[in-house]
Structure 1
């Protein structure tokens, strides 16, 4: 990673699940978000995706201003180049696995999409499932298709909400390999919500612990988890 900033955000949102966060990410950096349920982790991802509008704040990604409440700027979700993988997968039920991945490649010529989609599906251990509809895929397979679709957009920012919760150990390694490849290539920064601390340590460059919408600590995963205050918040006893 370089000293370059790929994502800069300063967010304030009130309400039952408020969020107050100030973060900067480098190209390819993987930042894991953890904390108790209701801490605001998924809300922060939804704000970045443009699905939730904060009361005040600023988001700059890949040099583009997506949000600046002081200047009246709000870029809608479909114009933000984000790759989203939420827990519900959100695959289109009438399309095949291949169709779901190809639909994210609207900027590629049609004759190039299938080959590009196949490369992604192979990397995520999905060959042979191209023609299956989501209803004929397991939860883990759907999750991998959702990740392939997110990567197919060639996003400026990748947002993952519990992306490995329904996959086996072998697939976890595949996903880790994909994220490592993104990092080494200076790809998009990644925000990863997880309750699995082993996953956070294995995948993330930095770990953020949130509670009640606030960032309690941010740093190298081993350093953060060694702090006794954080151990108490995460109930690591």
Structure 2
């Protein structure tokens, strides 16, 4: 049965990516214990693998559909606890995160909108956000907060709250610019398996091409930094 209908708002997508985090019944989505939290599962589906659409029904069900019939994502915005849904967007991309308490699962998925003959991808994303905002709170990645210092005429460093840092700013951070504060989005505690990390490091450090790779990355960052001046 085709899940689309004339009453459903549809947007064509270029890409869909999902991350699935599993938790034990005693853990929380913020838990970092390797005994409680499994490694996340990730998947990326490109439009070349089939027609991708984001659908919002009149009953406030949000679907990601492949080839018009296969539901690969679904959030019921009316029955799901709105406090467990986090929506953020920037440009032509929308990130949704929600929790499924019954299965102890947190799902995060990112969709990239496609342009059509009538609107570009950014406009489609904004139209979608406008409709979703009727049911849940959605923030913009690029919203910033400027804080004034009472003891100095200088403006405190800019902190992008709940935001994805721009490429320009991230380059500056990587090259040692301390005037930019990364939001908590970039300071999440992530659990690592010490043995897997050690094995991974040994594998790449023993690769004779690794030093050249690191040098090439550093050179590219230097070039990108210079181009932003």
Q: TM-score range by the shorter chain?
A: under 0.3
Which has more radius of gyration?
Answer: 2
TM-score, normalised with respect to structure 2: 0.26
Higher fraction of helix = 1
Larger relative contact order (CA 8 Å, sep ≥ 6): 1
- Give the TM-score of the pair, scaled to structure 1: 0.25
